[in-house]
Amino acid sequence: MTNKIFLTFLLVFLCLVGASKASPQEILVVQNHKIKPYADAFSGFKSQVNSKSKGVEYVFRTSNGAVEYLSGSKPDLILAIGMDALQKVKIFSAVPIVYLMVLNPAAIVPDERNITGVSMTISPDKQLAAIRRVLPSVRRIGLLYDPKKSGSFVKRAQNVAKLLKIDLLAKEISHSKVVPAALNSLKGAIDAYWMIPDTTVVTPDTIELMMLYSLDSKIPVCTFSTKYLEIGALMSLDINAKEMGRQAGGLALKILSGKKVADISSVEADTADLVINEAVARKLKVTIEDDLRGIAKFVR
């Protein structure tokens, strides 16, 4: 009897010692640029993960450093912040990967089973709803897009536009050189221009053309980043990096708890900040309704 009691206590002791010495789960954070949006995204990620899991350690590397690190180590998860980070680590198929701050992830990782994350894209229904909120009288919206990069997004946008009774005039282009002609073809046919984050359409040269088009045609430009408000766009629906980080943290927690990455779908950013340029609104004679004062940010 005494021996049985002793063995029971010994097993309990060994279990406790083993638990105390259990290795914490390791997340390799891959990031090349020290910029505020990335820092905000990681802050949101960490706050979400740490709120549910206390046994997590973070290792930080640049893309090149990550490749070297992964040649001799296998973390429980990789957090890739930014497109360049994701490009570099996507080859490591044996480690679950969650991405953040990537504009068009489908072009980089179309169907990898070990990768999921949060796209910087805001759903077309949220974007069109915001445009309708700021410009309630708008019925005809134009946009340019490269079907190879934004085809699926525009198709969804067209379906949403029909429900909102908006005539969405979407012009396909294959090269930034045709943007001037495509913009001219929209003259007189639209009430607003919707600039989506398509890298074929949006280049340093074409941005200036779009803003000149807006001024000449008195057509408001609705965009995806506040930086374009500074050069003439009327409104933007910006991603909230910290909230995106929290979303990615939620995906990471599922993986760390044992769920297969293949069963965790990638998602779009679910929180966005509406920002309006009041000076442009005055120039274009756009009336800002009082109810927007409580929900939007304003620049002048």
Rounded to whole angstroms, how far apart are CA atoms 242 and 60? Answer: 18
pLDDT band at residue 22 under the 50/70/90 scheme: low
Strands (DSSP E) found in 233-288: 235-239, 267-269, 272-277
Q: Does pLDDT of 15 surpass 60?
A: no
Q: Which residue has the tokens 């927007």?
A: 292
The CATH classification number of 24-119+241-270 equals: 3.40.50.2300
- Rg (C-alpha) for the chain, rounded Å, is 24
* Structure tokens given for 85: 């980070």
- 30-86 pLDDT, tens digit per residue, is 999 999 999 999 999 999 999 988 889 999 999 999 999 999 999 999 999 999 999
**Mean predicted confidence (pLDDT) in 8-23:** 46
What does the pLDDT look like over 277-294, one tens digit per residue? 999 999 999 999 888 988
Q: Yes or no: is domain 124-238+273-299 CATH 3.40.50.2300?
A: yes
Spatial contact of 147 and 173, defined as CB atoms under 8 Å apart? no
Ranges of CATH 3.40.50.2300 domains, the chain:
24-119+241-270, 124-238+273-299
Q: Does the pLDDT at position 205 exceed 70? A: yes
208 phi-psi bin (left φ>0, alpha ψ -120 to 50, beta other): alpha
Q: Which residues have a Cβ under 8 Å from the Cβ of 268 and sit 6 or more positions away?
A: 118, 119, 121, 122, 123
pLDDT for 168 equals 97
Cα separations in angstroms, 110 against 29, 82, 105, 145, 149: 22, 16, 7, 19, 12
Q: What is the pTM of this model?
A: 0.81
pLDDT in tens, 91-117: 999 999 999 999 888 888 877 889 999
